[in-house]
Chain A
Amino acid sequence: MEGAVDAASPMIAIDHVSMTFVGREASQTVVALDDVSLKIRQGEFVCLLGPSGCGKSTLLAIIGGMLKATAGSVIVGGTAVNGPRPNDMAYVFQESTLLPWYTVLDNFRLALKFQGIDDASWRDRAMHALSAVDMTQFANHYPKQLSGGMKQRINLARGLCVGTNVLLLDEPFAALDEQTRMVLGEDLSMLLARTGKTIVFVTHSLAEAVFLADRIVVMTARPGKIKAEINVPHPHPRSPDFMLAPEFGEIRNELYAILRDEIRATVARMREARDAAG
């Protein structure tokens, strides 16, 4: 499903963003991102794909206002990003961020309270979000009683429950086994079709990127730059059958060819660093 096409005013505009991390000692200074520019339309599902350390999570954090870029700017929904914007963007992390000392339901209540919604509607909204991911029966459980897949489902639901236009996901399924990933990927695709949100998804899995994204942005090894952009013109919701389609394999192979050099470069650099350290 294509969102409102309006190239003149994209939902997310990333403009010449660079990020340098200054370490404790001079040798630990790292250039994570080098002059990245990108425009994301409303309702688009964009995947940031790249080898480890290419800065994709850093870029996501900058979009979400969790980090301040050393150069460049990010504009979301027409306003520049200066810090977290809980009313506009929801952030889902790689590990479960459900607070372990509260129940699932209380975690939802807090998420809404932090956003400024402190009225009686919280319970309905929470239960509604939980039913969207089929987790209503665990509303009163504590996070430690749930499996990894269940927790990430709930994290996803919490991200949806706050009702933002933009959803930022940082490798949310990376810690899960493959079968769970596939099922959750399917569900995400369905949710996207229904809600029309703008989604930015970080991953290092090729298959995941092709299955989920409308557009895949491939990044280079550190310092991160955009190497290529690949479109996936298949409509959402996507079923597992899509993975059998020839276009799936073609796009996947194309991605691998682009990434292969980057991955080898990353390994070579790690080897260099290890040899230098002695």
Chain B
Amino acid sequence: MTEMSNTQIRLVRLALIVGLIAIWEFYARFISTSSLIAGPSDVAMAWWPKVMGEPRVRAAVGITLIELAVAFAMSVVFGMLIGILIGLTNIGRRSMYPIVLLLYGIPQAIILPLFVLVFGLGPASKIAFGFSHGIFPVIVNTIAGMRNVSPHLLAGSAAMGASGAQQVRYVIFPHMVTTVFAGLRLAMTLTLLGVILAEIFVSQGGIGFFTLLYSETFNPSALMALVLTLALMAIALNELVRLVEARFSRWKD
């Protein structure tokens, strides 16, 4: 079996995607009789002016992005703080880390209604829910980053006369930051998950209002247009974070 070149691989992928869209269009237009199936052409037509053309929809998407940014920033900052506090002492880590993991494993959807009760229907509950999702991978990565500093590097710096504080500043801390950056994509994905989940849940405003509207008026093309727009944004965000990650990991082998 010969290996295909990189360009060939990309072409095949493109062909697959185009093919799938074509089949979807064919099925929606000619085969399906259900009004619940929307083809790509319907989605495209609904996109503007009906969905993204609506200023209220654009505003909702914009607010979602702001909520995401805030929640993400909070996750990183507080996640690192808590992670450092826990990972600082051996005892602290060994007692708190299992608790963190147990909390991480709880399906957070169950506390969503509670969050909305406590924080209200506005952006606060979405930010809080995004924060509660994204903080965990950051904590876990921070703790891991503090633990797995290569003992060779520490021994080397000690041999050159570095004090404990200097080791923390020049060896341990940078290493920890790179480990956190390595997990940034997961933190972004989870934060976005929390924000989206909360948005869809609160159907009195924001994106949730429009998903509910389009669902109840049986407008699958508009719904799909909105959803796909958000999905594309999620992909773009993911790529952005990946680039940031790569930029900060240039020295890695």
Contacts and interface: CB of A to CB of B under 8 A. Distances in A.
A24 interface: yes
Nearest to B9: A24
A24 B9 CA distance: 11
A22 B2 CA distance: 8
Nearest to B8: A24
Interface string B1-35: 01111100000000000000000000000000000
A112 to B, nearest CB: 31
Nearest to A22: B2
A25 B2 contact: no
Contacts, number: 6
Interface in A15-58: 22, 24-25
B57 to A, nearest CB: 46
Nearest to A25: B5
Interface residues of B, number: 5
Contacts of A25: 5
A24 B5 CA distance: 5
A22 B5 CA distance: 12
A243 B249 CA distance: 50
Contacts of B2: 22
A25 B3 CA distance: 9
Contacts of B4: 24
B124 to A, nearest CB: 52
A24 B7 CA distance: 11
Contacts of A22: 2
A114 B3 CA distance: 29
B2 to A, nearest CB: 7
Nearest to A26: B5
Contacts of B3: 24
A25 B4 CA distance: 9
A22 B4 CA distance: 11
A196 to B, nearest CB: 40
A22 B6 CA distance: 15
A136 B98 CA distance: 43
A164 B6 CA distance: 43
Contacts of B6: 24
B83 to A, nearest CB: 32
Q: Which 3 A-B pairs have the closest CB atoms?
A: A24-B3, A24-B5, A25-B5
6 contacts: A22-B2, A24-B3, A24-B4, A24-B5, A24-B6, A25-B5
